[in-house]
Amino acid sequence: MRVGVVREIAPEERRVALVPDAVQKLREAKMTVLVERGAGAAASFPDQLYVDAGARIVTTAAIYSTTDILLRIHRPTPAEVELLHEGQVVIGLLAPLLDPRAMLALAHRNVTAISLDAIPRTLSRSQGMDALSSQANVGGYKAVLIAANAFGRYFPLLTTPAGTAKPANVLVLGVGVAGLQAIATARRLGAMVKAYDVRSDTKEQAESLGAQFVTLKSAIEATGQGGYARALTAEEQAAQQSELNGIIANSDIVITTAQVPGRRPPVLVTKAAVEGMKTGSIIVDMAASELGGNCELSRPGKVVASANGVEIHAPLNLPSSMPTGASIFYSRNISNLLLNVVSDGAIHLDFDDEVTAATVITNGGKVVQPATLKLLQPAPKGGAQA
C-alpha cells in the first residue's frame, strides 16, 4: 500500500502531515511512503531526511496518481480534488461541517475522506489521534507569547532598584486544551491569571494550573456533546456578558479560545467591553476565522487598535507559526489514525468501531457521516437552507 504525503499549498501554511521520524513506523506496517518534493521544507524537514528514513521523494503528479492514501493538513482545494482518483483515501483536518459541499465533491470522485477533526474526544483510546487538541495546545502556547511580545510591560512581578513592576493580569476565556495551555504559559511567565468557561467542570482544571476561576452570578451550565461547550441562547449570553464586561475591563491581557464545532464562535468580548479596557491592553482572539471570532472588533488575520488604544490580534493559523513542533504532534496523530484503519498492508473500515464511524466522511461514492449529510439535505418547504 502506497501512502503519500502532500505539500500544503494553503496560504501561510508551513506544517507537514508526516515527519521523517514516523516513516519507519508506517513501513513496519507494510506501507510504502512517498513524499511530495519539498513537502516538509517549511517545517525544517528537508527531503533528504525523508530519504534517510526510507521514503521516496516524488513529483506532485506522482503523489496524486500513484498513491492509495494521501496524508495532509487541510482539505484538498477544488483543483487538487480533480487530481484524485477513484478509490483513493484522503486523511486530514477536512472540516466537513464548515464546507459539506467540498465533501460531496470528494464523494463524487469516489474518494474515501477521513477527517481528524471528527475524532470523538471522549474516548480514551482516541487521544493519540486527536489532532484538534494537539494543535490547540500549540496555539494556546503561541497566543500568550504574542500577547507578551505586544504588551508594553512585564508579565511577572519584578522588583528592581528602579522600583517594582506589578504582574500582568491575564484573563483566559475558554478552558479547553488551548485555554489550559494559555493558562500554564502565562503562569510560567509570572502573570496573575483568571479563567472563565461556561462549563463548570473546567474549574478544577484551571485551578490546578494556578488560575483563579471566575464564577459569574449568572452562571450557566453549558457542557455540550463530546466534551465541547454548547452554544448559549441569546438570553444566556446577555446575562453572562453584563458581568463579564467588568472582569474584562480589569484585565491587561485577554486570550479568547471559545469555539463551537461547525458554528460561528460566540462573541465574548463586545465593543463595549473593549471600550472599558485600559489603553495598552492586549486581546488575542484565537477563535478568529472566516466565521467571526470571540471579539466583536476582531479582523481575521489582522492586528487592529481600538479607539481607546487596545490592540486586538486575530491570528488565523497559530500552529503554522510553530511548524516544526506542530508537525511532530500532528504526524503522531495522523499516524495513529492511519494505523487504526490499516492492517496487513490494506485498508479496512470497520464501521462498528467508534473512531472509524465518526471520522469517515465519505465512502463508496456517498457522504456517510450523519452530521455532514444532514447539512446537505434540502431545507423543508418554507424553511431556510441549512
- Cα angle 147, 306, 206; round to 5: 35
DSSP SS3 for 80:
helix
Among residues 121, 187, 199, 332, the one annotated as catalytic is: 121
Helices (H) and strands (E) in the chain, counts: 13, 19
The answer to whether residue 228 is catalytic is: yes
Q: HSE of 36 in the Cβ direction (CA atoms, 13 Å)?
A: 22
Among residues 127, 200, 306, 321, the one annotated as catalytic is: 127
Pairing of strands 311-313, 282-285: parallel
The answer to whether residue 141 is catalytic is: no
- Of 22, 63, 21, residue with least CA distance to 39: 63
The phi-psi region of residue 41 (left if phi > 0; otherwise alpha if psi is between -120 and 50; otherwise beta) is: alpha
Among residues 117, 228, 259, 332, the one annotated as catalytic is: 228
The answer to whether residue 289 is catalytic is: no
Give the distance from CA 257 to its chain's centroid. 10
CA–CA distances in Å: residue 246 to residues 51, 243, 274, 334: 57, 6, 10, 42
CA–CA distances in Å: residue 370 to residues 219, 244, 309, 362: 33, 36, 46, 10
Among residues 133, 205, 298, 320, the one annotated as catalytic is: 133
Q: What is the dihedral of CA 319, 202, 171, 300, to 10 degrees?
A: 40
The answer to whether residue 121 is catalytic is: yes
Among residues 68, 117, 130, 252, the one annotated as catalytic is: 130
The answer to whether residue 385 is catalytic is: no
Catalytic residues: 121, 127, 130, 133, 228
